[in-house]
Amino acid sequence: MSIPSWMRGNKYESSYLLLMTLKAVEMVAELMALSARTAPKGRGRDSIVIKVVAERELKELSKELRRLGEAHGIKFYLRDAGNLENSEACVLIGSKASEIVGLDCGGCGFASCKEMLAAQKPFLDKEPDKPFHGPNCVIKMADLGLALGSAAKTASLHNVDNRVMFTAGVAALSLNWLEGCRVAYGLPLKASGKSIYFDRPA
């Protein structure tokens, strides 16, 4: 594990303390992944996909988000890419698009789960550039929200600043990092004197 260049200039902290901070944040990221895995799931069926990134992969995620922001002219993508660049880890969580609960509940807007699944490919073919693709099982989306909340709770319990980011999930999907997922979010992590994820420019 290497110390990022932006951390090396801090004359008030030793390299050892900075390295311990990075290790601690990555440990919390793993605990967050555990929290997401054990969060409640509809009918007990787990469709959550989780990936923890740091160092090289975190830089790659930030670079991809910046590329998307520049390509589509979306300013807040560029802002969030800067946040990722200054983070120490990121927990990515998505839900597999092809998995359903099988209740035919109608919450997705279709009369049956089979009809909802049949509508996925036409939408993907028609709107390939959308950041997310659906329709998706509404219960699976609730499961995703519960997993994200459980992960954020664990970060908070360990005093690590974090923020649920739509954009981090978009970049992860663009990189094909979360197999089978068409909706995903990221929770970047940072341990510092003030959270970098709030009081940000629009």
In a domain, 120, yes or no: yes
- Write the pLDDT tens digit of every residue in 114-155: 999 999 999 999 999 999 999 999 999 999 999 999 999 999
Q: Which helix (H) or strand (E) holds 77?
A: helix 75-85
What's the pTM value of the predicted model, to 2 decimals?
0.91
Q: Are 49 and 94 in contact (CB under 8 A)?
A: yes
Query: Is 146 exposed, middle or buried (CB count within 10 Å of its CB: 0-12, 13-18, 19+)?
Result: middle
In a domain, 32, yes or no: yes
The rounded distance, in Å, linking the Cα atoms of 97 and 164 is: 20
In a domain, 56, yes or no: yes
Domain encompassing residue 28: 5-190
Confidence of residue 6 (pLDDT cuts 50, 70, 90): very low
Q: Structurally, how many domains does the chain consist of?
A: 1
Confidence of residue 9 (pLDDT cuts 50, 70, 90): low
- DSSP letter (8 states) at residue 44: G
pLDDT of residue 200: 83
pLDDT of residue 16: 64
In a domain, 199, yes or no: no
In a domain, 200, yes or no: no
CATH number at residue 27: 3.40.109.10
Report the chain's mean pLDDT, rounded to a whole number: 93
